[in-house]
Amino acid sequence: MSNNDKDQPDLSDLGASLPAVAAALSAEDRAGLVNALKNKLQNLAGQHSDVLETLTPKVRKRVEVLRELQSQHDELEAKFFEERAALEAKYQKLYEPLYSKRYEIVNGVVEVEGNTNEAAMDQEDNKEEEEKGVPNFWVAAMKTNEVLAEEISERDEEALKYLKDIKWCRIDNPKGFKLEFFFDTNPFFKNSVLTKTYHMIDDDEPILEKAIGTEIEWYPGKCLTQKILKKKPKKGSKNAKPIMKTENCESFFNFFNPPQVPEDDDDIDEDTAEELQNQMEQDYDIGSTIRDKIIPHAVSWFTGEAVQGDEFDDLEDDDEDGDEDEDEEDDDEDDEDDEDEDEEEIKGRKKSSGPKKSGRMQVSEGQQGERPPECKQQ
């Protein structure tokens, strides 16, 4: 018996093993049911068998060897992911003291060398007492980033001034990562820590399953994700008081109320599913930007130095796009030359011949996916 025969289940007695209800079906219906079940079992047994069966014995043997090589590669890759996780954990321990010192300096817990707590000049005493640490450090760093700046409204800035620190950590069950935002006591909400957790389908691929955010406990009248609209009553109305209406509004703090994925995909239509997909991609983009850019390089975003690096990356992308555009322009010119030549040939032919039409199909390369999320333990 060949290897392919071993992979395939015995379907010879499938018709006899059907439930008694199948006996009430016509012979044609029973045959169709048997064939459907056979196809289902064959798919479960291995869809690759269809491909292998189309190959000659020699080629099939070569493919089997290639599959064995792939298995060896997968084993090495698994070790790579394991060692990478250990390496990340090792360096995360080395990062932690630096992050702790950053926290202490930003929030005025300690003073840096070269600065004295004694008043050097009387006229600056009051000012120095007010400016502990680095005021507005995190909100300034976040606003410098293009992705985050679009999410932060003027109303948000006042609340984000109370942000003391941002951390992130890797989670293992389920796979993913968690962001933590630490706030000082503020007049907007009661929470001292706001979290955002991302559950990933695959830890090594940026495939988001769902995101979970903290429910913010807003103080009365301080909710930044909603605005109150006052509508004047109609003339002649008995109720002279204005009508109050609450409406959702754009705010960075909507980040903690991420889009929810319905358990049953049948509950949403195609347009709704596409909109939900876009919302989830945008939400993940914000989270990964905070994790990969803001947290490890916060001071560079605060000073604006990180923007230059981002702009340089954008220029490289633009250059690549420009090269593609030039290639397309060259192709267009070639096509125009071809059309001119075709027209000249047509003129030399009989007048009854119609003009030759030429067209080209534009094929755009898909964008490369974001790099897989690197997880570190804070």
Q: Give the tens place of pLDDT for each residue, 202-255.
A: 656 667 888 999 999 999 999 999 988 877 777 766 666 777 788 899 999 999
As a whole number of angstroms, the distance between CA 195 and CA 192 comes to 10
Considering only 116-120, 314-318, 359-363, which range has the smallest mean pLDDT? Answer: 359-363
Mean pLDDT of 366-370: 35
- pLDDT in the model for residue 153: 95
User: Quick check: 289 and 148 in contact, CB under 8 A?
Assistant: yes
Maximum pairwise Cα distance, the chain: 103
User: Quick check: 228 and 246 in contact, CB under 8 A?
Assistant: yes
- pLDDT in the model for residue 296: 95
Q: 82-118, pLDDT tens digit by residue?
A: 899 889 889 989 999 999 999 999 999 999 887 765 5
As a whole number of angstroms, the distance between CA 125 and CA 110 comes to 18
99 vs 276, higher pLDDT = 99
Position 286 confidence tier, pLDDT thresholds 50, 70, 90: very high
Given a cut of 90, is residue 66 above it in pLDDT?
A: yes
Given a cut of 50, is residue 359 above it in pLDDT?
A: no
- pLDDT in the model for residue 185: 97
Closest CA to 105 of 138, 144, 77, 60: 138
Given a cut of 90, is residue 18 above it in pLDDT?
A: no
- pLDDT in the model for residue 21: 41
Mean pLDDT of 171-188: 93
66 vs 81, higher pLDDT = 66
- pLDDT in the model for residue 26: 47
- Average pLDDT score over the chain: 76
Mean pLDDT of 61-71: 94
Highest-scoring range by mean pLDDT, 17-21, 43-47, 136-140, 200-204: 136-140
- pLDDT in the model for residue 342: 55
- pLDDT in the model for residue 230: 75
Share of residues in the chain with pLDDT > 70 (%): 61
The model's pTM: 0.64
Given a cut of 70, is residue 76 above it in pLDDT?
A: yes
